[in-house]
Amino acid sequence: MRDGAQIILGAGRYIQTPGAAALTGREAKLFADRALVVAGRTAWEIAGPDVEKGLRESGVEYKVHPFSGFCSETTVGSIVADARTYGAKLVIGVGGGKCMDASKLAADRLGVRVVTVPTTAATCACYATVCIKYDDTGTPDCNEYCSQPVGAVLVDTDLLSRRSPSRMLAAGIADAMAKYPEIDFSIRFVKGWDITIMPVSALQVAKSNTEKYFADAAESVRDVAAKRLTPVVDDILFTNLALTGLTSQLSSGSKQLAIAHGLYDAVSKLYKPQRARLLHGEIVSAGIPVQLAVNGYSEEYIEKNIRFLKELGTPTCISDLGIEPTEETLEAVLDFIFTNVGIDEPGLQRQIRREFARVMK
């Protein structure tokens, strides 16, 4: 039961349009007139000129805090300290998933609002209140929830279609494709779930998203590779960011963690060189065939997913990740997943072990 707990469904404001980054000042002004902008070097090169222009035109004073590394306690603490010293009353995150999460957590610690300006469509972190925390070496530590929704999300479709690599979009699609089978798995197998209308609704939204991806995602990736902003790209951006973020909120974020995302966590801890050169969704992609098989979906449906992921260009097996598919690899990955996800039922463990043969190549 929810026991009166606050239900947060993503962002207070969501604006998706060409030139949205230039609206940062207008949106920031709704919350404060002094902000700390958290941005990685590449993200700032892409979006910085538009963000700065908008802030100056709206009379919002700002300081840029360079982001690098992971959303760790060290990184978040550095952002909080800089914001306090500067007297910031708002945090603005400009970048990818780790920057978004660090910005959200820092704002929560400060008791101020956060505005996000995603420069990739690789995750729904700009929208969801759940934040993936790492240690300073890049090993996933835990998930933490913010106490309030994101103040505003500014999705600049021109930026994401013409100034962000199509690889980012493909990775976000693969990450989102894992939601449907993972939520289904969690409802049926993971302990501690309350089966209310919320996770059931999350499952239905995720299923609808998957159908949309099968219909249009490959075309959207081709369009972005050609630097075209089309109606299909606009739809897929909304699906990656807002609708997938909504499924995360409805399913309580970390509780949809299952095999595909468990593989991501295992690779992040055990195979750091491979993790460093891959995107989050690319690693998750390699675990999707196993997740589908463990759920008991038909071979026809599993093969449809594999063909789809290959068309996107995302991994479908362990060797695609640059990891040697040995028995030692299998044991290390399975041990991590069973412990991390909390899978201790022997029959389910045997089933997962058996189905991992699909990607051990």
- Annotated binding-site members for glycerol: 175, 261, 280
CA angle, 69 as apex, 66 and 75 as ends, to 5°?
70
Q: Rounded distance, CA 324 to CA 274, Å?
A: 11
Q: Which two tokens stand for residue 22?
A: 């230039």
Residue 335 one-letter amino acid:
D
- Reported for 332-337, long-range contacts at CB under 8 A and 24+ positions apart, including other chains, are 332/266, 332/270, 333/263, 333/266, 333/267, 333/270, 336/262, 336/265, 336/266, 336/269, 336/270, 337/259, 337/262, 337/263, 337/265, 337/266
Please tell me the number of Cα atoms within 13 Å of 207 on its side-chain side.
7
Q: How many CB atoms lie within 10 A of CB 61?
A: 14
Type of residue found at 226: A
- Binding positions for NAD(+): 97-101, 134
- Six-digit token string for 86: 């500067």
Contact, 29 vs 61, CB < 8 A?
A: no
Q: Which residues are annotated as a binding site?
A: 97-101, 134, 175, 261, 280
CA 155 centroid distance within chain: 15
CB atoms within 10 A of CB 45: 12
